Amino acid sequence: MSTPLFTGCATALVTPMKGGAVDYDAFARLIDMQSAGGVTALVVCGTTGEAATLTAEEQEKLIRLAAEKSAGRMKIVAGIGSNDTAKALAAASRAEDAGADGVLMVTPYYNKTTQAGLIAHFTYVADRTRLPVILYNVPGRTGLSIAPETYAVLADHGNIAGVKEASGDIAAFARTAALCGDKLTFYSGNDADTVAMMALGAKGVISVASNIVPEAVSGLCDLCLAGDYPAAAAMNRQWLDLFTALFTEVNPIPIKAAMAMAGLMDGELRLPLVPMGEANRRALKGVLARHGLI
């Protein structure tokens, strides 16, 4: 039986930037905001954190700051995903040294691999790090999906503790959950899928929306964990427009725009990401206004 590294809401935390540099002061403020909002874990240097354009030194500093600033209030999960297995292991080692509680490891992209290659890739790192490994399946970004049968094999590894499932394929997730039972802890990787996936056994969400509404997403997860799915479904309907608006362009473009509008940080991005298009920006602003966020 897998022991969850966390349950409920984990925030896939953005990386604030200003003048081309990481804004560590703003990052520290966001950590306090997340803790106050009931979030149980932070994913640092993941997709939403723009890990692809962070240097190894910036990543290590962010993970260390998150661990120190959180001071045990929330679990710290470090993104280590790479399409180079050796680089992923090196990132896991740095995360361990920086004080992370676990690592998040996305499927290889571009050079991708076979299902057998996925097993070898994840196993290689899980065998060599002391940190619990959470797998990350997001085929919309990587062009590669973890098959239910592959999950079933990986579930037997003692150091593979969970999965962030962001395929959006609820039927495939239901089959995966049936095959793995309680050997893996699953988390929704899409805010809009959280209620459906938790009804099928997921233990929470790794959320983008909770960057700006941590209390709401934490509350949604709490309702699901308590088994009150009618109330959770109603709450999901209440926030669905925000969940949708935050993905009208490539993540994290919209969430950074939203947080800038709300005065939480500068909305700066690193290329190749660019500011949100004006039409989508106006629509997002309207959603934020409807919820009283600006």
Name the residues annotated as catalytic.
136, 164
- C-alpha pair distances (Å), 143 with each of 54, 72, 112, 167, 288: 22, 36, 8, 10, 32
β-pair type (133-137, 41-44):
unpaired
- C-alpha pair distances (Å), 4 with each of 109, 118, 159, 293: 27, 22, 12, 32
Helix, strand, coil in percent for the chain, rounding step 5? 50, 15, 35
- Rounded to 5 degrees, what angle do the CA atoms 138, 250, 210 make? 75
For tokens 């997860």, the residue is 221
β-pair type (102-106, 75-79):
parallel
